[in-house]
A = this chain, B = another copy of it.
Amino acid sequence: MPPTTRPTSRDVAREAGVSQATVSLVLGGKWRGRVSPATADAVRETALRLGYRPNLAARSLRLGRTRTALLVVPALTNEYFARVHTGAARVAAAHDFGVVLYPSPEGVGPARDPFGSARAALDGVIASSMAADALAAISGETAAAPRTAGGPGGLPLVMLDSDPAQSGAAATVNLDLASGMRQVTGHLAALGHRRIAHIASAVDSWTFRVRRAAFDAATRDLPGAVVTRRTAALSVEGGLRATHDALTAPGARPTALVCDDDVLAAGACKAARRLGLRVPLDVSVTGFDDLALATAVEPELTTVRLPADEAGARGMAALLAVIDGLSPQQADLPVELMIRGSTGPCPVEPR
């Protein structure tokens, strides 16, 4: 019995009494008409018996491709990105690709270098919802190098939920966030709300800038609208504080709170309740994303469902297309307003 070393294709060849090339052909599945069925069966049987598994490093080196994509996300604690990963992994698996996840450093995260840290040879990169500075760090990672192709390290790059005008991306997959924000404000307007506060994420990324712009545009067209805005750290606590400020500011109190995120909305509900306000009787609250959190809290949040899974899948499909030299189709993914219990008619005498 050979010691702890794993069997190589050479071992299989020797054991089966054939050449290495034959083993490669058989296990590679392209032996039709090149190797006799009997030999092929013998090779497969031997490989199985020996527990042979190809050395991926050697294969990658020989092929020059790894069939591996890197998915860069700002944070893993957010369920949204977990769903993006799920979708991307599903499409990747269907094309015999792998996905390696790289949670971009938030605070004292992993090393700064995705390509050193995500210790894998990569065929392409997908980046989702990256903050401006984090994105710059990734794009600039090989700034000294001649930027041959679009992405970092000369790799094909697909951006998700990011500025389409961003340089370097071979493709961009976006959600129709503006539509989502319009649906939110439309819903609130139909309920009679006019004094609306926007609890905005303090994160400086494209996705939140779009939400802000869409909110502004939608409320601008709303006659009699009185709009305020507070920015908040992207957490329950952050949402709570910003909302407290918004609700206790001098002047007429808002009757509706439009939050950039379900997490902020959860904080908003807490703040409202601590001020003795009932949701949605005294104040309506909306979220964004439709995380599990949205239905975990009470009342359940009216929010915008983002097809995270689909975005990940589209992103991976686009990346695969780019790798194959094709130009991927581009279209914004539709979003859907989920009307639940956290919104209601504007109170008649709110003050």
Contact = CB atoms under 8 A, between A and B. Distances in A.
Interface of A: 1, 4, 6, 48-51, 53, 55-58, 60-61, 66-68, 75-77, 79, 82-83, 85-86, 89-90, 92-93, 97-101, 103, 108-111, 115-121, 142, 144-146, 148-149, 153-154, 235-237, 263, 266-267, 269-270, 273, 292-293, 295-298
5 contacts: A50-B145, A77-B83, A82-B103, A100-B120, A297-B298
Nearest to A142: B51
Contacts of A75: 82
B83 A103 contact: no
A66 B50 CA distance: 23
Contacts of A235: 292
Contacts of A1: 146
Nearest to A270: B298
B120 A49 contact: no
A97 B68 contact: no
B77 A97 contact: no
A154 B6 contact: yes
B154 A121 contact: no
A100 B76 contact: no
Given A82-B77, A296-B236, A153 B61 contact: no
Given A51-B146, A89-B103, A267-B296, A56 B6 contact: no
A57 B121 contact: yes
Contact of A121 (B56, B83, B145, B295): B56
A100 B118 contact: yes
Given A57-B66, A149-B4, A296-B267, A98 B118 contact: yes
Contacts of A50: 145
A37 to B, nearest CB: 21
Nearest to A153: B53
A61 B60 CA distance: 9
Given A82-B77, A293-B296, A296-B263, A110 B97 contact: no
A287 to B, nearest CB: 11
A119 B57 CA distance: 10
B66 A148 contact: no
Contacts of A103: 82, 85-86, 89
Given A57-B57, A77-B83, A89 B110 contact: yes
A251 to B, nearest CB: 27
Given A269-B298, A293-B293, A119 B66 contact: yes
Contacts of A267: 296
A107 to B, nearest CB: 10
